[in-house]
């Protein structure tokens, strides 16, 4: 296998979404860099992948750069995976990728599922492009400033949100963007996948009557959408 850094997409929920190529690459590399070794360990065990694994997350990414460059200079191959989906999409890895590329080593991707495009397809709003904004700021003031910046945006705006902040986020969307249509997807591809479209108020009321646990993708629909 060619020496380099392989960015490997992994399932966002359903393990059957793992690609044959992803399994092969993770089996063949010398080292797997994982955002959370416990979560990735479950994936590796499921597919009987025996490659060595080390952590690489936002708190130690910078310190991993020297080790990775050293391994690459010895002709080793490494894979980077996040907890779920494509690495670097609202996940760590940007410093590492830039450092490896700047050093002249191969950086390539093994595409896989991502919650961004999966949710966008399910919303029905993806034909004219979109804006991906990642996770809103944790604090209310920052979150509201972000939402305010999308007041005149005609394209769908995609956000990630956690179970602990989803209702607060929806209330801020209602307050700032009023009746703009909203689509949310919870626990995509998993057993309890939930999809809902309505105003922010309707989305919040729906969740208040049901479970709001899990990871959310929230899409602000085009203002002119009925």
pLDDT tens digits, 79-129: 999 999 999 998 889 999 999 999 999 999 999 999 999 999 999 998 989
Residue 226 pLDDT: 47
Residue 131, phi then psi, degrees to nearest 5: -115, 125
Distance in angstroms (rounded) separating the CA atoms of residues 90 and 30: 26
- β-pairing, 4-8 vs 107-110, is parallel
Which pair of structure tokens corresponds to residue 154?
């005609």
Which pair of structure tokens corresponds to residue 79?
């894979």
Question: Quick one: DSSP state of residue 111?
Answer: -
Residues 6+ apart with CB under 8 A from 183: 119, 122, 123, 125, 195, 196, 197, 218, 219, 221
Question: Quick one: DSSP state of residue 137?
Answer: P
Residues 6+ apart with CB under 8 A from 36: 55, 57, 83
Average pLDDT of adjacent 10-residue blocks, the chain of 226 residues: 96 96 98 95 97 92 91 97 94 93 98 96 94 96 97 95 95 95 96 95 94 91 72
Task: Give the CA radius of gyration of the chain.
Answer: 19
Global pTM value: 0.91
Residue 100 pLDDT: 97
Q: How far is CA 39 from the centre of its chain?
A: 15
Determine the CATH number of domain 4-110: 3.40.1010.10
Name the residue ranges covered by the structural domains of the chain. Answer: 4-110, 115-220
Tell me which residue of 197, 198, 191 sits closest to 213, measured CA to CA. Answer: 191
CATH 3.30.950.10 assigned to 115-220: yes
């Amino acid at each position: 296998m060619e020496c380099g850094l392989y960015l490997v997409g992994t399932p966002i929920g359903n393990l059957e979404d793992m690609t044959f190529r992803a399994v092969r690459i993770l089996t063949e590399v010398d080292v797997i860099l994982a955002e959370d070794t416990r979560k990735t360990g479950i994936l590796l065990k499921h597919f009987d992948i025996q490659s060595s694994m080390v952590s690489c997350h936002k708190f130690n990414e910078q310190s991993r750069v020297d080790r990775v460059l050293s391994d690459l200079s010895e002709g080793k191959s490494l894979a980077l995976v996040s907890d779920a989906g494509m690495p670097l999409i609202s996940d760590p890895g940007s410093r590492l990728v830039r450092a490896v590329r700047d050093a002249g080593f191969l950086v390539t991707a093994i595409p896989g599922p991502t919650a961004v495009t999966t949710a966008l397809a399910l919303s029905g709003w993806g034909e004219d492009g979109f804006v991906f904004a990642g996770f809103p700021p944790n604090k209310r003031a920052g979150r509201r400033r972000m939402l305010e910046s999308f007041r005149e945006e005609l394209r769908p705006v995609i956000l990630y949100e956690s179970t602990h902040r989803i209702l607060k986020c929806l209330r801020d969307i209602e307050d700032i963007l009023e009746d703009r249509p909203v689509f949310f997807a919870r626990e995509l591809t998993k057993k309890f996948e939930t999809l809902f479209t309505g105003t922010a108020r309707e989305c919040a009321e729906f969740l208040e009557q049901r479970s709001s646990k899990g990871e959310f993708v929230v899409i602000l629909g085009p203002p002119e959408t009925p």
